[in-house]
Structures are given as C-alpha cells and as structure tokens.
Amino acid sequence: MAYTYTTPWLLVVTELLILVSITKSKVPAIIVFGDSTVDAGNNNVISTLLKSNFRPYGRDFAGGRPTGRFSNGRIPPDFISEAFGLKPTVPAYLDPAYDIADFATGVCFASAGTGYDNATSDVLNVIPFWKELEYYKEYQNKLRAYVGKDKANEILSEALYLMSLGTNDFLENYYILPKRQSQFTVEQYEDFLIGLAGNFIRELYSLGVRKISLTGLPPMGCLPLERAINILDQNKCVEKYNNVALEFNRKLNGLVKRLNKELRGLRLVSADAYKIFNQIIKRPSLYGFDVVEKACCSTGTFEMSYLCSEHSPFTCSDANKYVFWDAFHPTEKTNHIIVNHLLDKLQAYFR
C-alpha cells in the first residue's frame, strides 16, 4: 500500500522541482535545431546509415555510454545548458528513454546529416529541417498539456534556441552532387540557403520564439576528411571551402542584423565559432592538443559513423590530445573550448 501512495508524491515532487528550476533561470530551457554538430541521438531511431549510437562513440560520456552524439563525449548544447544552470545534457526528442518531463528544460530536434536545403537531408535519408520544426510544434502542445498553457508559453518565449547547421549543404550536397551545381553558382547557393534560414527563423518567431543563437560554418576545409582527399596539395586544408565558410558566415551575420530590425522583440545573435575553431586548428598546442590533421577514431582520415569502429586497432587511447574525434566531428574537449569562447557573448545577451 505504501508504494501506491508514495509514487504520486514522487511525481508531484519531481514536477515541482522542474517548475522551480524553470522559474529560477532566466533561460528556462535550451531547445536545439540543426545537424550532427548538435544532434543528441535523434538519428538512432530513423532508417539512416548516419548513426553513432555505438562504441567508441560516447566512450567519454557519463557511464561510457554511446548516445547518438557524434563525439567521444558531450556536444555544444550540453555545455551551454549546464552553463545556464540547467541540466548537463540536452536529450533527443525521439529518444524513447525520455518524455515531456525531461524535455521541459531542454530538448534536441537536430538530425545528423541534415541541412537548410531539403535536398541535403535526402542524401543520407535523415530528418529534413522542416520536419524538425514540425516536431517542435508537437513539443509545444505536449508542454502546454504538461505545465499548463501560460507556463508553457513563458518557457517557450524565454528559452534559448540553438541553430547549428550548413556544412552538409556544401560538403554532402553542393560539392558532391550535380543538381544544385547545375542550378546555382556557389555564391547563389549561399544566398539560397540564407533565404531558407531566414524563413525558418521567421516561422519560429511566429510560434513565439524570441531568443536564438545562430551558428554558421566551421573551417570546413580543415576537417580531416577534406584534408585526406586533398592529396594533390599535400593534405593541407582546402582553402576554397574555408573561404566559402567565411563568405557564408558574413551573409548569416547580415541576416541576423536584418531580422533583428524586422521582427520586433527578437533577440537573434550570431554565435560564430569559425575564428576560435580556426585558431585551435592553426595553433593546437596552445589549447593542449597534439594532433589536428587526423582524427582519433580509426585511421582518423575518412572514418565516421559505422566506419568508426571500436575494433579498429588504430583508434587513439586519449581523445583529449586530438582536435577531431572522427573525420567530420570535434572531440568533447574541442567542443568545450569552443563553447567556453562563445559563452560570455551568449550569457551577456540572454541572461
């Protein structure tokens, strides 16, 4: 009989603790859209080859558990959530281990391999960006049912929304497949993506979103995969890709300024990680890294997802010495350094 009476009380206490946490923080939740840079495991439950819910992924995560994050440990939204006084990890919306009680203070809708362009998500059969928005609308309804309409609307308007994507649009789509190249010059394709980003943010705004951090492209020509195939130039960074990233980021910054003027009450900030990431790549020893050209996993040249196997004899023993975990993604240590660099700006803007 005791169990019958204590269980509801435990639920009540849990809900009260969640509400207290929400009330105390000026940013009551972290809500995430994007690609593998911020995917906490949504790809685990869809039919795609692009997954990371197996070792050695997650070997430095709490409990050594692979979660579907494309890293050896935590990813940027986790560190941002913790820095704002919320939980140390942001759960994936499609992960059946979590429910709306977990999502009340943070949720991730991101999908590895996606992009602004719907054609990008088709390449590896991942969740398109528009579908992430549909999941968010579903989440809004669940949250209102859980904490009540007024409290939910407060959480949704005060939450910090993270957007991080774009690399796949260029490296998995534009530069690999002929369709977009036949339709656009690279400059025109940048403008096409900027238009899609603007439409997405306007749609979020219409749903009550007011605080958004928008992250652009990294030095994508320096990813181990791109260096590995740049044989003719001695495996150096592909500067053409880095220049595209810089140009695209400048256009994103312009979009941020325009939307802040256009949409009353919007607080949209550019969380441009290119500079700090490039500094780490150019001078890794200053940040405690030994290896930058290759990744930790397997040979460190082209492996990611299922090619990144725990059975590979080449996988490094200490990921903290490496800037990159696999051929496309940073280690937990790199993620943490980048977030720490951006935090002053984010906390000043959104506290």
Catalytic residues: 36, 326, 329
DSSP-H helix ranges across the chain? 2-24, 76-83, 100-103, 118-123, 129-147, 149-158, 167-168, 178-183, 186-206, 224-229, 239-262, 274-282, 332-350
Instruction: Judge whether 25 and 101 are in contact, CB under 8 Å.
Output: no
**Nearest CA among 87, 160, 88, 80 for reference residue 343:** 80
- What totals of helices (H) and strands (E) does the chain contain, helices first? 13, 5
Instruction: Judge whether 172 and 123 are in contact, CB under 8 Å.
Output: yes
**Nearest CA among 148, 62, 112 for reference residue 308:** 112
Rg (CA), the chain: 20
11: left (phi over 0), alpha (psi -120 to 50) or beta: alpha
Q: How many Å apart are CA 172 and CA 279, to the nearest integer?
A: 25
Instruction: Judge whether 22 and 155 are in contact, CB under 8 Å.
Output: yes
Q: What angle do CA 34, 162, 64 make, to 5 degrees?
A: 70
